[in-house]
Chains A and B, each alone.
Chain A
Amino acid sequence: MTRSQEIRHETLLQLHGSGRIPIAPAHIVKIARREGFDYTEAEVRDALFFLHGQGLAAKLTDPSTGETRYQITSPGILHFERED
């Protein structure tokens, strides 16, 4: 597995674990660091960009604050369970 693939896997795992609760890139980085990974926020954002493009994650923007969070989609759940 390349580093990018590892980061995508960790990101998708956290999205899957969070279910319908949308999570922020900074939160993903914090939790990954606690597990011993050294991913940067830029790398996680790249992974989220990819997952979003593949339809595996949905992007939610709070219209009042502009904050962006991500939530796993149904295809994302299936992908995690079957492929990841």
Chain B
Amino acid sequence: MARHGKIARLQKPHRDQVSHLLQNGASAQTVIEYVAGLVAAGERDADGAPVEPLNDVNVTLWRQGGYEDWLKEQRRLEDMRLRRDAAFEIITANEGAKIQEASLNIAASQLYEVLTEMDLAGLKDKLKEKPELYPEVIRSLAPIAKAALDVEKWKENVRERKAAIERELGVALNKGGITKETREKIERELNLL
């Protein structure tokens, strides 16, 4: 929902600071004084207009509207961060450190998608009642992580073999043809796939 009030029109860093103040329990007066400081400093809002001083109503409306939107986004970002960290933890626990980072990120993305689609809030409640289930949850996710890693390792293997074959073909072309030795090298690479 688009918001147009005085606080909504502030530049994002200032707007976020107002929300941080409210989150930390600051009073409306503190918020009003903070914005008064911006006014005194000649700060501009996101549209380039001078920042306007606030009153209690402005702060109340922001608390009920824009601040709630901000809180919801912060919770979503924190939720995504936790799932992202969990995906990497599970992936690297399965020897993920042995593949390139780009492949690790791709492998983690598949597990991250699974974790994102899980109802973690419901799972957390169940785990509070039965914490002994936690290892089982991790064990159930490990095969997904392993499968994703195995795919990425296979893809890396294909890429390396392909590069090796291309190198051999390049050498062969420069020498004017494929020798028996080159053919054997290529066959060895193909057999490794």
Name A's B-contacting residues (CB within 8 A). 1, 13-14, 16-24, 27, 30-31, 35, 60, 62-64, 69, 71, 81-84
Q: Are B155 and A64 in contact (CB under 8 A)?
A: yes
User: A17–B109 Cα gap in the complex (Å)?
Assistant: 12
- Are B158 and A64 in contact (CB-based, < 8 A)? yes
Residue-wise interface mask of B (13-32) relative to A, using a CB-CB cutoff of 8 A (1 in contact, 0 not)? 10000000000000000000
- Range of interface residues on B (Cβ < 8 Å): 20 to 34
Asked whether B116 is an interface residue with its Cβ less than 8 Å from the other chain, the reply is: yes
Question: A13-B73, A17-B76, A21-B87 given as contacts; is B112 within 8 A of A60 (CB)?
Answer: no
A21 and B76 within 8 A (CB)? no
What mask results when residues 120 to 158 of chain B are scored 1 for a CB within 8 Å of chain A, else 0? 000000000000000000000000000000000001001
Give A63 to B154 CA distance when docked, in angstroms: 12
- A19 surroundings in chain B (CB, below 8 A): 80-81, 84
Task: Please pick, from B112, B117, B159, the residue contacting A21 in the complex, using a CB distance under 8 A.
Answer: B112
